[in-house]
Structure 1
C-alpha cells in the first residue's frame, strides 16, 4: 500500500521559551518531517516519541531512508553537510542531532550556515532540552522560519492532570478503551516515573485484547499499586492510622524512595487546600485550578472530617518532612512516619 501523502503542518504563533515562534507547532504525537524539525523541551519520553514518529513517517514514504546520528556537543567539523548531502542513489536522509543545548562552537556555526541552504531530500532533527541557553541563536533562527522548520515542543509533565492526559492519550492513540477507574489506578501506580507509566500503557495495549478494566490493571500492577505513594497518602488522609503505617512500611520495604512519597502526600494535601471551601461545580472549579473533574471530586471526599486547623497542620508537617527527607535529617524514615501520624490522627505529633 502506498504511503500517505505528507500533510502540511498547521501554522501557529506561539510563545516558545519567551520568544514568539512563527513556524508550525506540532504535537509530539503527530510529528511530521520538514527540512528542520526542532524538538524542544525537557520531557524525554515525548521527545523520543516525536523523533521516532518522524523516522517512521519518512520510512513509510521510502524504505531506503538513510538514518544518521550526531552529537552537537562532540561534533566533528563538516559532519552536518557530509551526512545530509545527496548520496549516489539519491535516498532520503534523516539526521538526528542531540545535545544541542550543549553544542560546540563548530556545530553552532555550521548549523546556522546550513539553515540558509538546507539540503534537498534531507530532514534534520535538532534536539534541545532547554536545560541551558546554549544554542539560543540557532533556536531563534529556526523559530524565525529560516530553513523551513517546524517545532515539536515537549513540555515537562509534572502535574497529576498532565500524567492522566498522557496515559489517556496512549490508549486513545492505540484506539483502545480503558475504564476511567482503571486509568486512575494505573496513573497512581506510576506517578513518579513517566517512562514507566508509558511502558505500562504499552504493555497493556499489547497484551490485553478488548477493553482494559480496573481488575486487569490490578492483576498486572497490583503490587505496584498497593505500595504506591498515593496509596500511602490515601490511607493516611482517610484517617486509617494503622493501615497507613503498614502501607508506608510496605512501600519502603519494596524500595520506594522517601522523597516522592512525601511529594505525593504533599500534592494531595495541596489539592485539598485549593478545593476546600469552594462551592463551585466540579467542572468549573477544575477548569479554574487546572485539575480534572475527578480530582476535584476526590479532594472533596478526602476533606471529610478535616477542618482548616488540621489541614494547615498537615501541610506544615509535609513541608517539614520534605526538608528532612532531602537531607535535613539523619532519619528520613522517621520523618515519613511522623508525617503519616500527623495526617492520620489529624493532631500534632505526640499529642
Structure 2
C-alpha cells in the first residue's frame, strides 16, 4: 500500500524584529514606526535623532515621502559616503507608497547599508504591507508600535510611565484626572505632564491636576457608570450631560453602564469564594471581583434588577428605538444611582 503523503503548508518566516518603546529607540539598520498615533511616532523619531547626534553630530539626515517616489531614488539616499559617515533616512507615508518605492525598498532590504539608519513610517492598512513583512525579517530591525491608546487605563499607564522616567511621582487618581481632562489627544496629554512636572514639586496630586486643568473634562462612559453605581447620582447626571455636550455618543455611556452591571450580576451569581478563584472562573481580574463585591454590599437584588431593566430601556432608546434618548439615558443613570442603599 503506497505511503500517504501529508501536505505541509509553507513555514511562516520568523520575524527578526525587536520591539521597543518610543523613548528607548536607538540606531538600527531598519526602524519601523507602525501605527496611526503621531505623538508616539514623533517621540520615537526625536529620540532616535538625538541618539544619532550623540554618536555623530555631523550625521546626514534625509526626510522623504514614499508617495511621490521615483525609481532609483532610494539608492541615492542610502549610498555610503566617501568617509563612511552615518546617515539617517526617514521615509514617511509608506502606507501610501508607489510601486516603484516598494520594488526598490524590497531590494534594499536584502542588503541594508551598514552606516545608514532607514526609518519606515507606516500608519496602517494593507498597502505596502509586504514592505513591513520583509523588513521584519531583516537582522537587527527594530519596530516601534505607534498604535493609538484607546483605553483610559492605557493612557493612565502612559502618564505614570512619563512621570516615572522623570524620576518623579504622581498619584494614580491624579493620573486618572489628567486623562479625564485631556485624554483624547496623546500629545496634549504628554505636554500637560511636562507642564505639571515643571510647575510643581514633589508628588503630583489630584488637586494640582484640578488647579491646572479643572476647567476641562472629557466625561467617559465608565466615569458615568462608576459615579452612578457608587450612588453619586447628582455627579453622574452632571457627567452624562457633559458627555452629551462634548460629543460622547449615548450608546457609549449605555454600554459602560451595561458592562458594569453585567459584572455585578456575574459576581453576585458566583457567590462566595476567593477573589482569585472567582476571577479565574469568570474571566475577570481579581480587583474587579473585589470592587464588585464592595458595590454589591449596597445593592439589593431588586435594586440591581431595576437598574438592569432601566439600562436595557435606555439601550433601546439610544439605538433608535423611539422616545427621547437623552431622557431615557438620564432616567437609567438616576435609577442605577438610587438603587444603592
TM-score, structure 2 as length reference: 0.77
Which of residues 305, 309, 332 in structure 2 aligns to 1:309? Answer: 305
Q: Which ranges in structure 2 are unaligned for 5 or more consecutive residues?
A: 1-11
**Residue aligning to 1:263:** 252
**Which position in structure 2 is the counterpart of 1:335?**
325
Alignment equivalent of 1:273, drawn from 239, 262, 268:
262
What per-residue deviation string (whole Å, max 9, x for no partner) do you get for residues 161-194 of structure 1?
3222222111112221001221222233334443
Shift of the 109–90 alpha-carbon distance from structure 1 to 2, 3 Å rule, reads: same
Any idea what SS the aligned residue of 2:215 has? helix
Aligned to 1:163: 155
State the structure with more CA Rg.
Answer: 2
1:218 to 204, 210, 214: 210
Which of the residues 53, 59, 62 maps onto 2:53?
59
Cα displacement (A) at 1:49:
1.8
Whole-angstrom distance in 2 between the partners of 1:136 and 1:185: 38
Kindly state the Cα deviation for residue 37 of structure 1 after the two structures are TM-superposed.
0.7
2:131 to 126, 138, 157: 138
Distance in 2 between residues matched to 1:205 and 1:288, nearest whole Å: 40
Secondary structure of 1:258's match? coil
1-structure distance, mates of 2:138, 2:278: 39
In the TM superposition, structure 1's runs of 4+ consecutive aligned residues that sit over 6 Å from their partners are: none
With the length of structure 1 as denominator, give the TM-score of the two structures: 0.76
- Is 1:204 matched up with 2:200? no
The answer to whether structure 1 residue 228 and structure 2 residue 222 are counterparts is: no
- The answer for the alignment partner of 1:114 in structure 2 is 108
Q: 1:75-114, aligned counterparts within 5 Å?
A: 75-87=69-81, 91-114=85-108
SS at match of 1:21: coil
User: Is the partner of 2:169 in helix, strand or coil?
Assistant: coil
1:257 is displaced (CA, Å) by: 0.9
In the alignment, is the contact (CA less than 8 A) between 1:240 and 1:344 conserved in 2? no
Q: CA deviation at 1:299?
A: 5.0
RMSD (CA atoms): 3.5
